[in-house]
Structure 1
Amino acid sequence: MNDLETKLGECKLDTPAASDETSSSNSSSSDEEDEIPTYTVAMWDFNQCDPKKCSGRKLERMKLIKSLKIKQRFPGIVLTPVAKKCVSPEDREIIMTKGVAVVDCSWAKIDETPLGALKATHGRLLPFLVATNPINYGKPYQLSCVEAIAATMYITGFKSSALFYMNKFSWGHSFVELNQELLDIYSSCTDSTSVVAAQNKYIEEEQLKQQNRNTLPDFPSSSDDEEDSE
């Protein structure tokens, strides 16, 4: 995580952006009953992404996500950068009864996207996570549609459903593997406040580790010592 740029105390936006779908999809090998959600999974598509690289479009073709009209209201959890709260385990009941929706737009065009028109009742941000999609690999917060959906499912207790969605992409397993520790931390929290606190603690600890590594002196290797002594 040496090259990650973070800000303490800030639960930054984490709505979906463009992602890559050039790889073939993989089916999940698990037999758990809750792999395929019984609740609604939806998205608003602002047509700003390359259709061939958009994970949301791929999920739509697979009938794993429902496309909403831009001004169509959605009663469930909505991942949007204009939200004030982070998603947390306490949102599980809302998702079970009303579903979860994401915004499919380009990260480069966030400022010109009319997100206010969505008027979400339960708007949510996602906490610090690192993207592994081919477009924004290694970048914090800049998740694709499927990464945002899966992260929300995982945090709110629908882990097998999260894995089911990520397994539709050959690179999908890397998202959970890279963010495993954080996802488990967030899913063990109680509410939005505790998720943000856990996020900030994690970032502070990682930054301290980086500082400590940067202050270590460069010692010669043992092989160099032996050569010098001859």
Structure 2
Amino acid sequence: MIRLIILQKSQDDPKKCTADKMGRFRLAEIVRGMNRVPYGAIILDPYAKDVLSPADAQAAAAHGLLGLDCSWEYAEQVFKREKARRLSPRRLPCLLAANPVNYGKWCKLSTLEALAASLYILGEKEQAEAILRIFNWGKQFILLNKNPLEDYSKAKDAEETKKIEAEYAPDEVLASL
């Protein structure tokens, strides 16, 4: 089981915030500052150069997985401001969102979806499915992304993950990464 940490920026509607609900269900530890994040944790950063792959499983198991919960409207600014040298930034390979706000959009995942996808790719499929159960639409995320998630979870490294990503994501999405 991988430790999940969420840096909460409180920019979204609290009723729709997947991170808050994960905290209430004790599925993730909610923190308000980077000083509470373990050294060496993997931070999920949609603007990172390196892609998450199964090769990151050992680091995630040892140090944890950090999701930064903020509004997509301010995401680029927030991620630039929260850069920390002591963390390992990784972006997720392209997946479709199943959350009601961004349903069917490439790479516009909620914090819950991002953490669940990461767990799945890192080989923690049961933990991924467990955290998705707190929302009615959670199971839909796995159904929408079953094939890419399975393929990403079998990749040897980041390079292989990128090749698999190119098979699934449209060219215009890949060009924007």
TM-score by length of 1: 0.69
Gaps of 5+ in 2: 172-177
Name the % identity: 33
The answer to whether structure 1 residue 203 and structure 2 residue 166 are counterparts is no
Structure showing greater relative contact order (alpha-carbon pairs closer than 8 Å, 6 or more residues apart): 1
CA distance in 2, matches of 1:182, 1:165: 19
- Runs ≥4 in structure 1, deviation > 4 angstroms? none
Aligned partner of 1:158 in structure 2 is 124
Tell me the residue number matched to 1:70.
33
* Secondary structure of the structure 2 residue equivalent to 1:143: coil
Aligned counterparts of 2:80 and 2:31: Cα–Cα separation in 1? 13
Look up the match of 2:73: 108
Change (3 A) 1:114 1:141: closer
Question: What is residue 137 of structure 2 aligned with on the other side?
Answer: 171
Larger CA Rg, structure 1 vs 2:
1
Change in Cα spacing, 1:183 to 1:112, as seen in structure 2 (3 Å) is same
**Residue segments in structure 1 that go unaligned for 5+ positions in a row:** 1-36, 206-230
For the residues of structure 2 that align with 1:57 and 1:115, how far apart are their CA atoms?
A: 23
Report the structure, 1 or 2, having the larger helix content: 2
> Quick check: 2:9–2:32 contact (8 Å CA) kept in 1?
no
Structure-to-structure mapping, 1:67-146, within 5 angstroms:
67-72=30-35, 73-74=37-38, 75-113=40-78, 115-119=80-84, 120-146=86-112
Structure 2: how far apart are the matches of 1:97 and 1:114? 23
Deviations 1:183-207 (A, max 9, x none): 01101101111101111123369xx
Equivalent residue letter for 1:123: P
Query: In the aligned structure 2, how far is the partner of 1:204 from the partner of 1:140?
Result: 9
SS at match of 2:162: helix
